[in-house]
Amino acid sequence: MPVPSHTPAFPDIDDARRKLRSADYVATLEISTVVFLAEALGKPVLAEGPAGVGKTELAKAWAKASGRPLIRLQCYEGLDESKALYEWEYAKQMLYTQLLRDGLKDVVSNASSLRDAAERLAAEEDVFFSEHFLLPRPLLQALVSDEPVVLLIDEIDRADVEFEAFLLEILSDFQASIPEIGTVRAKHQPMVVLTSNNTRELSEALKRRCLYLFVDYPSLDGELEVVRLRVPGLDRDLARQAVSFVQGLRDADLRKAPSIAETLDWARALLTLNAERIDRNTLDQTLNVLLKYEADLQTARRLMGPLTRGIDGGRDRDGGNRSAGRDADSTSSTRRPGEPDRPDGGRPANGGGRSSNPGRKGRGGRDDRGQGRSGGTGDDDIDWRSGVDGGWGGGRPGRN
């Protein structure tokens, strides 16, 4: 049986990219190309990547850009065909049988034998085994829809391997076999998007039926474009500061790096709080919008040390960064004889009573803050400070 034909929604790659942008989705050239080819070839798309990078949003934007309804199936462990394809309404079937019992008596009343009565009942069985007793679930809804749709099968990696195998018929032939009534074929070919967060490996059979797309965290400029598109009221310099901070967090050793969705949540939080800049106080109030594990919050607070000194300490009038330490005049008035230099102008680097490493001065993540880090200055601290500190608005000449 041939696959139902469909009319591509995008004549070329540029049109796909432009229409996705009109649906508030910033698509890269790779994403736009895959969407265009999926429309042209009539192939499902398998989008893999970290959680929260925009895979589900791609399906939503695709539906909006193409003018098609979106039908979504959220996968989970234990999902089966009764929840994904259809459910047979046995109670409704029994009710019909009771209501039509008198009519059935009339059908078989003149039967000459049991065989004749059975044949007469068999001629009427379509009344009791028909689509009237089918309760369509998302997969069946996409197949029998009177108009083309976008079918989103979200987080397929959470479903069992058996369900993954069950999908193969739908992904290849756009049809489903239902024991009670037979094979149901799609009226219009749906555009199918499967997403995966890479929690397990998917089968080669499923991947073979799809166009593959890996969606990763965007670059700083790419994420900044997303923030400006989705949170237009946020100040441009503050948006760049926020995105630079998030990009730096992703380079840190975190249990869960902040996603694009969490960047947008944080940007909206900054806008709601009328924040003018990102300083230590703002971070202390809003960091839990970005990070969802206590260990990650502690790691981020250790890394805030050198970063917030660069912000709170201010910039020189000529735009240059101030030194993380204080000059000798500012420290001599508060330093006791024989006490080591204090990189933050306050308590000694060794915490005022803990053993110290004389070679460590002015770094984030010190043992004096009681966070459990030991040893000298780490490479993560260097990358964090040099990679993020220069990204703040006004920090370097020529940056917006």
Residues with Cβ within 8 Å of 46's Cβ and at least 6 positions away in sequence, in order, are: 156, 194, 195, 196, 202, 206, 207, 210, 211, 212, 213
With pLDDT > 90 as the criterion, what percentage of the chain qualifies?
Answer: 54
**pTM as predicted:** 0.70
Q: How far apart are CA 29 and CA 319, in angstroms?
A: 36
CATH architecture observed for domain 13-85+137-214:
3-Layer(aba) Sandwich (3.40)
Q: What is the pLDDT of residues 84-140, one digit of tens each?
A: 998 877 676 677 667 666 666 666 677 777 777 677 666 666 666 667 778 899 999
Radius of gyration of the chain measured on its C-alpha atoms: 31
- Domain(s) labelled CATH 3.40.50.300 in the chain stretch across 13-85+137-214
Q: Mean pLDDT lowest for which of 262-276, 327-341, 381-395?
A: 381-395
Q: What is the pLDDT of residues 336-383, one digit of tens each?
A: 444 444 444 444 444 444 443 333 333 333 343 333 333 333 333 333
Residues with Cβ within 8 Å of 116's Cβ and at least 6 positions away in sequence, in order, are: none
| Residues in a beta bridge with 211 | 45
Averaged pLDDT for residues 64-74: 97
Q: What is the pLDDT of residues 359-370, one digit of tens each?
A: 333 333 334 333
Residues with Cβ within 8 Å of 363's Cβ and at least 6 positions away in sequence, in order, are: 305, 306, 343, 377, 378, 381
What was the pLDDT predicted at 31?
Answer: 97
Tell me what the pLDDT averaged over the chain comes to: 78
